[in-house]
Chain A
């Protein structure tokens, strides 16, 4: 089934640990995004990538990094997790009509 997959589904992480959230799409979309969703705040953009080999910072990039080695994969890394990074993380891609397609999300708890 075409779409976006994310892994893991959920994770509990000790503060200070490094964590990579995985995102893979099979729709051959050029643009990909990482959002975090927090209660009452909606979705906020962390990082984006317009095409393979390029990335950019979104609204809340601090503490996160991304890479885009190929079209399909867009991993998000927390170098040293902090409790304020407890959130639900969504990966998305967009097509030429600007419609965004979202993955099922990763629920991350940092203790």
Chain B
């Protein structure tokens, strides 16, 4: 089983639509969670951190369910500029006391259509 799993998509949605991405992780000791956005041939950039209580940033809402080891990202009122790959990222505990590591999901491709 992959450490972080996402539906690769693509998700093709019209402008103004609401779209949700899901992500599951295998390591129950994972400590923190993020959503990154990656545009074609560019480096990933942090979109938002994911907190246990859920958090919102404008049109973006992130949720975490530790019991189910599940993270979600909701985008409301989609814009053309939201078209990108959305990466679920988990900060995983590394056994033996070494530094934690950031593990990326495969990413979900979103294409917002005019």
Verify that A and B bind, or say they do not. no
